[in-house]
Amino acid sequence: MPDVIVVGGGIAGLTAAHELVERGFKVHVFDSRATWGGKARSQPVPGTGTQNRRALPGEHGFRFYPRFYRHVIDQMQRTPAAGTPGRTVDQHLKATTESAIALIDEDTWFRFSRRRLDKPYDVLEALELFFQKLDFEPSDGSLFGLKMLQFLSSSDERRLGQYEKLSWWDYTQGDRYSPKFQRQLRAVPRTMVAMDPRRGSARTLGTISMQLILDFASSGVNNDRTMGGPTSQMWLDPWVAHLRGLGVQFHAGVRFTGFDVSEGRISRARFDQGGPRTADHYVLAVPVEAAHALITPELAALDPALARLRQTDVEELVAWMVGIQFFLYEDVPLVRGHIFYPDSPWALTSISQPQFWRELGLFRTQFGDGQVGGLLSIDISDWDTPGTFVPKRAKDCTPEEIKTEVWGQLKAALNGGDVVEQVLTDALLHSFHLDADLDYSAGLPPANPSRLLVHPPRSWEARPDAASAIPNLCLAGDYVRTHTDLATMEGACEGGRRAANAILDRAGSRAPRADIWPLTEPAELEPWKRLDAALYQRGRPHLFELLGLQSAYQAADTLRRFSAFTGLSELDDWMDQFRVTSVVDSLLMRIGRR
């Protein structure tokens, strides 16, 4: 049995351990923390639980599991749930059936329920209704909708060769929108994936935006889910217990200090306790900034991909997305899903969690001292813009100041101008918890070891594959090259599987490889992607641009001309032809003759 040392006990490291131990490998997992799960772990607030109740549940940020998460869900389906024979962890997931947008300068907030979209043109129609409800300019909706359709009908070759070099802002022509829509365009990527559209690549933000739009436009209970309780209690602790039962050895509170190299291979791993250790294979499953710091000149000399990452300014690759929880005397469900605050200076997103935790029992009987009945979990995604109530950047605020500013932003958005029937009042607030990973010991700004990769343009070139050129070293994490291509639990899980598969290949194992799934988009778009691949190969722009899409005011005319170009009389008829390959074949023949 080959043995493997996994450095890092987050989602990537646990996934690699899971896949390898099931296939007969001896696995040791090391982490400097005392608990497992990395950024996904729960953070119980010390000293808050009384009379056999659990401590109040803090966290790095709330977890959500959209439809396109397949690797994480598969891992859960293979993990027995604690205390419930015959059940698996994925059965703790709860569907969110709606979402909402709360605007500070409005008297109300808007709920959006999910509905199925059957045709590609339905995407435009749904976006148009969405924009009308939020009172955006019609030209904004026209241009944005067309840019979404352009991306959906763009080939993989164009996305990697052209869109990877652009920011999402430049791709969507952000400067052409109204000021009100520009605020929305800047805010939505930040609230969903902590990305600044001026910094994130169009390829990455576009791919994930398409997945989120398709999630919202799909019917069923798997579109967007949240966990039915604290993440560690419902998933991570049962997962670690299951891996222990399979034979994985866990070593908590042990800091990894580096690899030694000999004859072109890793010869041993060094730790601050217990001396160096050796194994047949090694998996480095730590965040990108930690991996960057651990790449020595000796390692870089053995692998050009590691050398590229070492030469990259890691500060340009990462940003902050940090959670704060407000514990309330009474439950405030708000909406059965997530609420987005597009005009909040700190790009907030929130979810009211107890409504999804009913299977555990009444919240106040399970957590805290019996006084807390509600919990709002909020993600803060912009740490560099001054606040409204505390006019400083979040990075320059104390925890108490962060609490004051976030609570003020929430009240401004949810209460509106109604001073009689307020959703949030100061009397509701029991206490708060700020992500424990923030380290204020050296003063302000705090140190943050749990930042997120934000995928700036051309960053794909700097990111390594899971299989290192060093024959007994693999990398796992959300920064390695994956189909998911996003700093998420899903990306980390896929990265862990890719590392496990590389080790299986190198060991000559006959065991089946861990499943890897690409992201999927509607099959009806494949003929149009094939058309775009032909255009890109010939150095031509996308068909929409070829036909003259320059601004939102030309959108309607562009659609009419596109309809005429395809020989179809009506736009709806043209959109229906997404399903007709012969139309694309005809266009390819025309391009080939030019």
Q: Residue 106 has what pLDDT?
A: 59
Return the structure tokens found at 237: 């602790």
Strand pairing partners for 3? 26
Alpha carbon distance 35, 33 (integer Å): 5
Phi-psi region of 443 (alpha: psi -120 to 50; beta: other; left: phi over 0): left
Return the structure tokens found at 473: 């070293």
Q: Give the residue from 2, 507, 7, 1 showing the smallest Cα distance to 282.
A: 7
**430 vs 50, 321, 371, CA distance in Å?**
15, 24, 8
Alpha carbon distance 364, 327 (integer Å): 11
- Is residue 59 within 8 Å of 35, Cβ to Cβ? no
Please report, to the nearest 10 degrees, the dihedral formed by the alpha carbons of residues 90, 94, 95, 100 taken in order: -130
Phi-psi region of 534 (alpha: psi -120 to 50; beta: other; left: phi over 0): alpha
* Neighbour tally for 181: CB within 10 Å: 22
Alpha carbon distance 592, 537 (integer Å): 11
Alpha carbon distance 535, 527 (integer Å): 13
Cβ-based neighbours of 66, under 8 Å, separated by 6 or more: 211, 212, 215, 223, 224, 225
Please report, to the nearest 10 degrees, the dihedral formed by the alpha carbons of residues 514, 7, 232, 490 taken in order: -40
Q: Residue 330 has what pLDDT?
A: 96
- Indicate the SS3 state at residue 509: coil
> Torsions phi, psi of 346, nearest 5?
-100, 15
Alpha carbon distance 490, 551 (integer Å): 36
- Is residue 547 within 8 Å of 558, Cβ to Cβ? yes
Return the structure tokens found at 64: 């959500």
Q: Give the residue from 281, 271, 303, 353 showing the smallest Cα distance to 469.
A: 303
Model-level pTM? 0.90
Alpha carbon distance 478, 492 (integer Å): 4
Q: Residue 183 has what pLDDT?
A: 77
Radius of gyration, CA atoms only, the chain:
25
Say which amino acid occupies 8.
Answer: G
- Is residue 45 within 8 Å of 58, Cβ to Cβ? yes
Q: What is the pLDDT along the chain (594 residues), one digit of tens a residue?
A: 899 999 999 999 999 999 999 999 999 999 999 999 999 999 999 999 999 999 999 999 998 898 889 999 999 999 999 888 899 999 999 988 877 888 776 555 566 655 555 555 555 555 555 565 566 777 777 778 788 888 989 999 999 999 999 999 999 999 988 887 887 777 666 655 567 788 899 999 999 888 877 766 655 555 578 999 999 999 999 999 999 999 999 999 999 999 999 999 999 999 999 889 999 999 999 999 999 999 999 999 999 999 999 999 999 999 999 999 999 999 998 888 888 888 889 989 999 999 999 999 999 999 999 999 999 999 999 999 999 999 999 999 999 999 999 999 999 988 875 555 678 999 999 999 999 999 999 999 999 999 989 999 999 999 999 999 999 999 999 999 999 998 899 999 999 999 999 999 999 999 999 999 999 998 878 888 998 999 999 999 998 887 765 443 354 444 445 544 444 444 444 444 433 344 444 555 554 444
Q: Give the residue from 422, 460, 429, 17 showing the smallest Cα distance to 251.
A: 17
Strand pairing partners for 99? 112
Helices (H), 312-434: 363-366, 399-415
The DSSP secondary-structure symbol of 435 reads -
Residue 103 CA to chain centroid, in angstroms?
23
Q: Give the residue from 530, 293, 377, 354 showing the smallest Cα distance to 58.
A: 377
Q: Give the residue from 317, 379, 315 showing the smallest Cα distance to 348.
A: 379
Q: Residue 436 has what pLDDT?
A: 96
Q: Residue 140 has what pLDDT?
A: 78
